[in-house]
A = this chain, B = another copy of it.
Amino acid sequence: MNMTAVTPELVDAAYAALGSGDPAQVARYWHEDMRWCVPGNHQLAGWYEGRDAFLGFMERVGKLSGGSFSMERVAVLTGGDYSADVTHNVGRRAGATGAASPYDSLDIDVVHVLRWSDGRVVEGRGAIFGDGTTRFNQFWSQLDAGGARISG
């Protein structure tokens, strides 16, 4: 049984802990055995098994986007063992210099659905609204707009 209610405040605290980068804070809200699924079929897509793998994914997002990747919170929802946060995500590929293209710039609306157990996230999955998954696949592809291969 889930003794800690999943509330918007808990969701906020978990993301704040994640943003802090403080391992103790992260461990408080994100279970060691958590798993996370990134939508699409690009190099970052699929299930990350374990908190370390998830944190490695987050780090790679930062690196590939030159630290430009940001998520603006639009809404937080809860229900039973679940939470959902709707965000507006933007980013620019590290090193991109040319005009905006779906390979260089990202602007999508996303929802993350999290499952909790005793106050910690045990599973999370992202999903993208509209045709954003196509653009997500382009953005995280190892291609620039001209088809050059970029090392990831």
Q: Judging by beta carbons under 8 Å apart, are A47 and B147 in contact?
A: yes
**In the bound complex, what is the Cα–Cα distance between A143 and B41 (angstroms)?**
7
Interface size class of chain A, counting residues whose CB lies under 8 Å from the partner chain: 35 or more
Q: Is A28 an interface position by the 8 A CB rule?
A: no
**In the bound complex, what is the Cα–Cα distance between A109 and B34 (angstroms)?**
19
Number of copies: 4
Q: Which of B45, B80, B83 contacts A141 (CB 8 A)?
A: B45
Q: Which of A81-120 contact B (CB under 8 A)?
A: 81-84, 86, 102, 109-111, 113
Report A's interface with B, CB cutoff 8 A: 8, 37, 39-43, 45-48, 75-84, 86, 102, 109-111, 113, 125-134, 137-138, 141-143, 146-149
